[in-house]
Structure 1
Amino acid sequence: MGKASRDKRDIYYRKAKEEGWRARSAFKLLQIDEEFNIFEGVKRVVDLCAAPGSWSQPMAPIEGVIQVQGDITNARTAEVVIRHFDGCKADLVVCDGAPDVTGLHDMDEFVQSQLILAGLTVVTHVLKEGGKFIAKIFRGKDTSLLYCQLKLFFPVVTFAKPKSSRNSSIEAFAVCENYFPPEGFNPKDLHRLLEKVGSPWGGEDQDCSSGWLEGPNKVYIPFLACGDLNGYDSDRSYPLPKVADGTYQSLDPVQPPIAPPYKRALEMKKASSQGIREPEKHSLDS
């Protein structure tokens, strides 16, 4: 797909370049903020899985931002984050990470939910009481279970769908407010506590966990659409803006990839077009 073609087919991709954002996903966060005011009073933020392309490439530096490359399932990563905050905890944790989707919705939803729970491991170490956690989810048949697991730590949990998120996508976002872990909670017991949720042996004092998630105990999840309903439709194609000379010039991304996985393929294609042959490589045993 050419640059102009994508500019036409994806209005938020085009607007991101025009407004100076690195990625179209910035609009998702902005539209969530319009509805939930998540940035009010926020001074310290942790952005999990922030590198574009997930684990496939590093991220170019951003002024005023400290980058930590680590495993979000490891408590030591959380300790490094707190150390950079001079012992203070974060006001907000956001996580827009996602695995490479397979097209098998049940599998994708399960893997995504496990990624969120890995993010929750970091949250229990770095988020202050009263803080907020925003995470990407994939909606599916087990969404109620994830909702109840998050409710153990956040009294208010809402699933939101920003206008900039395509209607054809199962993507949504869990907006978790007012972090308040159970009394006497130890982060080391996180997974043991989560396993009780939605089971018949779950404690009766835990919201959502006193019975099954079906039948009379079925959980109904608050779901909210974010963004101006009269705004741009992410599934629609828009005409390119008219220019004086009649030739539309597509803008380059604000920050192109610095180590894309396809870099080697581009170099080989360029060399081939210029008639340059790569030197043959021989094994030491040949």
Structure 2
Amino acid sequence: MGRTSKDKRDVYYRLAKENGWRARSAFKLLQLDEEFHLFQGVTRAVDLCAAPGSWSQVLSQKIGGQGSGHVVAVDLQAMAPLPGVLQIQGDITQLSTAQEIIRHFEGSPADLVVCDGAPDVTGLHDVDEYMQAQLLLAALNIATHVLKPGGCFVAKIFRGRDVTLIYSQLRVFFSSVLCAKPRSSRNSSIEAFAVCQGYDPPEGFLPDLTKPLLDHSYDFNQLDGPTRIIVPFVACGDLSSYDSDRSYPLDLEDGSEYKYTPPTQPPISPPYQEACTLKKKGRLAKEIHPQDCPISTVDPLPPSLAAPQRHTLLASEVEDNEMNGSP
């Protein structure tokens, strides 16, 4: 029941498997492209934080089919190979990663940089927003090294109270910054996507991974008073299509019987692999029962903490206590 219940709970999860996508997030990039035409004229693209590879799949199909397409995927984790995609297992905060991307493009800059990466959320929105902002800035820093003038940058962002500062930072480098929410992204989630078009860095700007981008050397006067920037919000995708927050039945429209579809690509060396192995063997968070412990290893309680001895009075003893005046 676990498999079918998960399929029933999320229709995009089911559609991703039926259409051969590695993850449901593929629909997010497809819906963003429908709205902003991200792939138009793109021949070189970079997918940061790419694992498990659903966005790289979309890029390889949309760009690779043009003949001169070229896609580079970067992630710290191992990822199963994809046709037409060059993989780099590296850190997006390292200059060597940017240099390797440029080397794969034979010295040419990229037309498009995307990043769907996110930290392991804690449920504490302030912490999660901060971690996501740092990840976005790391992706932006890589983009400043590899993106061509006029190029496009798309990255996941968590909308929060101080998200305006991130938008203003992006406006320093791009002529157009929008906040987009695809239909396949749950309304209950604070995630959205910053769509930045027209890469135009400040005059004299030199990319440098050794310095943070939020170092107050740029002009943030637009954050003051009533001139504070408000980034337009755009809902992407067909609004009459499936609702990502709704559960749909497994019965198909044509009346055919539902058949379970396995995931397109199982995870490659996931960080939780050891925990899964221990769980299958019944060794994960195993409860220790008293009978499993030798008696000799249990220290007896001191007399002062030992449970008081209970004594049941006989009827004759009760009468004697009453005659002697004892309570």
With the shorter chain as reference, the TM-score category is 0.7 to 0.9
Q: CA shift at 1:73, angstroms?
A: 1.1
Q: 2:183 aligns with which of 159, 163, 170?
A: 163
Matching residue's letter, 2:29: L
- The answer for the alignment partner of 2:23 in structure 1 is 23
CA contact (8 A) 2:93 2:209 kept: no
SS in 2 for 1:66: strand
- Work out which of the residue numbers 235, 239, 248 in structure 1 matches 2:258: 248
Q: Secondary structure at the match of 1:123?
A: helix
Instruction: Report deviation, 1:217.
Output: 2.7
8 Å CA contact retained: 2:141, 2:209: no
> What does residue 241 of structure 2 align with?
231
CA distance in 2, matches of 1:56, 1:74: 11
Summarize deviations over 1:180-231 as a string: whole Å, max 9, x none.
111111112884663227xxxx64xxxxx225x3532322111100001101
Root-mean-square deviation (CA, aligned residues, Å) is 2.5
Q: Distance in 2 between matches of 1:140 and 1:195?
A: 21
- The aligned residue for residue 168 of structure 2 is 148
Secondary structure in 1 matching 2:87:
coil
Alignment of 1:218 onto 2:228: yes
Distance across 1 between alignment mates of 2:163 and 2:106: 36
196, 210, 214: which one aligns with 1:194: 214
Distance in 1 (CA, whole Å) between partners of 2:120 and 2:143 is 23
1:56–1:261: 8 Å Cα contact kept in structure 2? no
Looking at structure 2, the residues matched to 113 and 125 of structure 1 have their Cα atoms a distance apart, in angstroms, of: 19
Contact 1:11 1:238 in 2 (8 A): yes
Residue in structure 1 matched with residue 205 of structure 2 by the alignment: 185
Q: What stretches of structure 1 of length at least 5 have no aligned partner?
A: 204-208, 274-286
SS at match of 2:215: helix
CA offset at residue 263 of structure 1?
3.2
Contact 2:75 2:91 in 1 (8 A): no
The equivalent residue for 1:259 is 269
Q: Describe the SS at the equivalent of 2:78.
A: coil
> What's the counterpart of residue 105 of structure 2?
85
2:45, 2:110 within 8 Å by CA — same for their partners in 1? yes
TM-score computed with the length of structure 2 as normaliser: 0.75
Q: Deviations over 1:124-171 (max 9, x none)?
A: 110011110000000001111000000011010000000000000000
| Superposition TM-score, scaled by structure 1 size | 0.85
Q: CA separation in 1, counterparts of 2:8 and 2:148? A: 43
Larger radius of gyration: 2
Answer 1 or 2: higher relative contact order, Cα 8 Å, separation at least 6.
1
Counterpart residue number, 2:39: 39
The alignment of Structure 1 onto Structure 2 pairs a total of residues equal to: 263
SS at match of 1:140: coil
